[in-house]
Chains A and B, each alone.
Chain A
Amino acid sequence: MITQTADWFDERLGIAKFTRKSLNKIFPDHWSFMLGEIAMYSFIVLLFTGVFLTLFFVPSSKEIIYHGAYKPLDGHKVSEAYASTLDLSFSVRAGLVMRQMHHWAANVFVAAIVVHLCRVFFTGAFRKPREINWVIGTMLLILAIVNGFLGYSLPDDLISGTGIRIAFSILLSVPVVGSYLAFFLFGGNFPGHSIIPRFYALHILIIPALIAGLLGAHLAIMWHQKHTQYKGKGKSERNVVGVAMWPAYALQAGGFFFLTAAVIAILGGLVQINPIWLYGQYIPYKVSYAVQPDWYMGWLDGALRLMPSWEIVGFGHMIPTVFFPAVLLPGITFTALALWPFIEKKITKDTAEHHLLDNPRDVPWRTSVGVGVLAFYVVLFFASSTDVLANSFQLSLNFVLWGFRILLFVVPPIAAFVAYKVAKEAGSVPGTGRRKRANVILRNAQGAYYTEQTAPRSPQHEEEVAEELPEEVVYHALDRDHRDELVGTAAPSGAGGPAGSPSHPGVDLGPLPSGGSGIFRIPRVRRSAAPDDNGEPIGGIGDRG
């Protein structure tokens, strides 16, 4: 039955080849390659919970009198957006847990993107040929942050309303066109009645569609270019060592999705986030102290707090203080971030393709730059909670503010310097990356103690360790080039044809584990080095079921 159905589709769409190729695609197996997956799975959770929320949320600034379940706000004039969020939280079954999961998932989503970005940066995975994917990733980060802010603003509560007010002022601060921009977005002066429906359309439709599209491109390019891998025995610029898509990787990734969703669901169910009923309806003349944006906007808020009130006047236009931390800083940040692969290429003059990753200690200068820049943003991030920190640690707010102003310029160079030194030292220690040999303390006949290194492993043992591939790997599927290199035997070279073919001569396939792994050649290399009849990468040996 399944076979018939599959055949029916294959005859019409010719999907068999693609499916087979896909199912056998090899993914390097390392936990740090799963950080981007966390972001993707959080995004899926966001989509599902978000759809649920749209069923109950009313994106309208129309004022109504609230008579819902939450009594302390009974009889208050509130917007429909706020009232519907209250109803969602108090009267809709599972509404609050969905709302909280959505919010936690957003926090995890952006955090995972940032950590993924750090992994890609510090391992040099953005180098040729992956610059495009780096740029797409930067755009995804921006969109994620923007959409997070929009979603945070939708409930129209006191704290998020303050955030919208700040956004309005930031738009106003843009020289020359600022007031037009702000009035265009808000449909008039702040707050107006348009902003909630407009944010809603952006938040649930336009930006998620952009994110989904770019995410698709991100994955498709990654799929096409194949994943990078860490250096190691048997890995080269021309192969990919890992586990096959089906079943090992698919099950691992599927399991990881459920783990991610579980953590988000647990947070959503057990830890309160954004209790908007305690904040009340946003009314422009009301303000609460201790107002922060969600964490991913923290660095911008911190920059706004730290910026001295300098106003620059030139050509008859005043540039307000807000412009520098809130427009210029993110502009420079994201431009530099997106262009980093090209900047680095200018510096290193390295035009070669790279599929093997750097260890951060291998390139101390890049690690140092990355750590320094990261430290700058971490300081800004912490600066967004100056008041809460001052209150929690019973310090003067002014002291904390000035402390951060100084730290902002002191911490990054120190962090960069330390990172450089550590990377340099770590990289230059003999035997870096090798297994450690234990020192044992022994006692001699006279009762004196002395230290001795354990005997080196037998060459054979060393060899075994060195050849050990990721844990799932039991058998390697080898193409002819690498078989010799890895197995070290001069096997007779067979005729051309996919190595994955079970009839491939010269390779002892042995019993294949279902999660078989393999070494793939990259098609581009393959085409130039050993033309294949169909240009298909030589398959890893997995069972082809």
Chain B
Amino acid sequence: MSIERRRAAKLPNLKRRVLLPAAVGVAAAGITTLALLPQAGAAQSNNPSDLGNYGYTGSYIYGGTQSKGGGPITYEKLNPASIPYGKTLFLESCSTCHGVEAQGTSRAPNLQGLGAATIDFWVSTGRMPLADPTVQAVQKPPRFSRSQTLAIDAYVSSLAPGGPAIPNVNLTLANLAQGESLFSTNCAACHTITGAGDALASGVFAPSLMAATTTQIAEAVRTGPGNMPRFGPNTLTDQQVADIVKYVDYLKAPNDRGGMAIGHVGPVTEGFVGIIIGLGTVMLAGLWIGGRAK
């Protein structure tokens, strides 16, 4: 078990203190003791203790200074030893469009300096590699294992400094109610208040958040993939990002009192159920007990 998790367990009151933005942004920088990651093809995990010991600090980390304790978000250290492997993978699968040095081509943007979180989001959600760059990338089963993804992340972020590192969210330190407030203010206008996602103009859509892992949600907030705005550390603190992530995680299986939830898309499905099942059943009952044509 990692140190920050142990501290969190010992200090439940930490939550209060880490609400202060000053204390939270710096969370991960000083934490270098991470448990070993199962190396080969490890499944993605939200548990920081499962993530690898890649003590590479090539990526810029928000906050900069050393953290006194485990914050709500810790940042992944990438292993410099994996860079050559990552380069091989990148050359195989990415360089055709993004260029050999990830410098970008007429087909795809420059990736240098975007940070490990950006690369990790696109690759780990399966959006990259992308078959058709003219349509919005959709989430699909990732093409690379977790260790391969991290190797690619390490390679691209080694090319130039800058950008956010891969965030790991400690949900136990996040505040659900704050998350609701931040989510409804910042996210619901596109992703809908239930996170179901919806169509935006011109064939662009805000995807459903149901399949995103906590790391991917935090990455999306920090890097702003596609049309999504980017929420940097001056807009949302690490604590606030963690709060949002906690609420989105809650929305995957929310309190669904009242019976079968019908899509969480509001009155559209309710109307169909009301008319077709509600009125329809009563009309069938009427047909049953009422008279029919001669």
Contact = CB atoms under 8 A, between A and B. Distances in A.
Nearest to B275: A111
Given A112-B282, A260-B285, A271 B199 contact: no
A230 B290 CA distance: 14
B202 A288 contact: no
A90 B258 CA distance: 10
Contacts of B199: 386-388, 390-391, 395-397, 400
A297 B258 CA distance: 24
A289 B258 contact: no
Contacts of B287: 31
Interface in B137-155: none
A360 to B, nearest CB: 13
A275 B256 contact: yes
Given A272-B256, A279-B193, A390-B199, A289 B188 contact: yes
A308 interface: no
Contact of B192 (A74, A76, A290, A295): A290
B198 A290 contact: yes
A108 interface: yes
A38 B282 contact: yes
A286 B184 contact: yes
Interface string B174-202: 00110111001100111111101111111
A248 to B, nearest CB: 11
A398 interface: yes
A287 interface: yes
Contacts of B294: 232-233, 468-470
Contacts of A260: 282, 285
Interface stretch (A186-194, A262-270, A482-490, A518-526): A262-270
Interface in A74-108: 74-76, 89-90, 96-97, 100, 103-104, 107-108
A34 interface: yes
Interface residues of B, number: 62
Contact of A263 (B258, B261, B265, B281): B281
A385 B268 contact: yes
A475 interface: no
Contacts of A74: 176-177
B277 interface: yes
A85 B75 CA distance: 41
A522 B155 CA distance: 92
A388 B198 CA distance: 6
Contacts of B251: 278
Contact of B267 (A263, A271, A294): A294
A298 B271 contact: yes
A293 interface: yes
Contact of A397 (B181, B196, B203, B259): B203
B184 A280 contact: yes
Interface stretch (A251-259, A405-413, A448-456, A529-537): A251-259
B257 interface: yes
B193 A159 contact: yes
Contact of A158 (B193, B254, B260): B193
Contacts of B282: 38, 108, 112, 259-260, 263
Contacts of A285: 185
B285 A256 contact: yes
A469 to B, nearest CB: 8
Contacts of A390: 199, 205
Contact of A108 (B176, B247, B255, B279): B279
Interface string A55-71: 00000000000000011
A70 to B, nearest CB: 7
A271 B260 contact: yes
A263 B278 contact: yes
B283 interface: yes
Q: Of A31, A32, A34, A397, which is in contact with the most chain B CB atoms at under 10 Å from its CB? A: A31
B273 interface: yes
B286 interface: yes
Interface in A92-135: 96-97, 100, 103-104, 107-108, 111-112, 115
Given A73-B180, A288-B188, A107 B259 contact: no
Interface in A439-496: 468-472
A298 B275 CA distance: 13
Contact of A100 (B201, B259, B291): B259
Interface in A175-217: none
Given A270-B259, A290-B198, A252 B266 contact: no
Contacts of A52: none
Given A31-B292, A298-B271, A89 B265 contact: no
Nearest to B183: A280
Given A115-B279, A395-B199, A273 B189 contact: no
B257 A90 contact: yes
A278 B264 contact: yes
Contacts of A225: none
B260 A108 contact: no
A277 interface: yes
A35 interface: yes
A340 interface: no
26 contacts: A31-B292, A33-B290, A34-B290, A37-B286, A100-B258, A107-B275, A107-B278, A158-B188, A259-B286, A263-B282, A270-B260, A271-B258, A272-B257, A280-B193, A288-B184, A290-B192, A292-B267, A292-B271, A294-B270, A298-B271, A385-B268, A390-B199, A391-B197, A391-B199, A398-B202, A470-B291
The 9 tightest CB contacts between A and B, nearest first, are: A295-B271, A107-B274, A31-B290, A29-B291, A390-B199, A288-B193, A396-B203, A272-B258, A470-B291
Given A277-B257, A278-B193, A388-B199, 20 more contacts: A28-B291, A31-B290, A32-B290, A38-B283, A70-B255, A107-B271, A112-B279, A158-B184, A260-B282, A267-B274, A272-B259, A288-B188, A288-B192, A290-B192, A294-B270, A294-B271, A390-B205, A396-B202, A468-B294, A470-B294
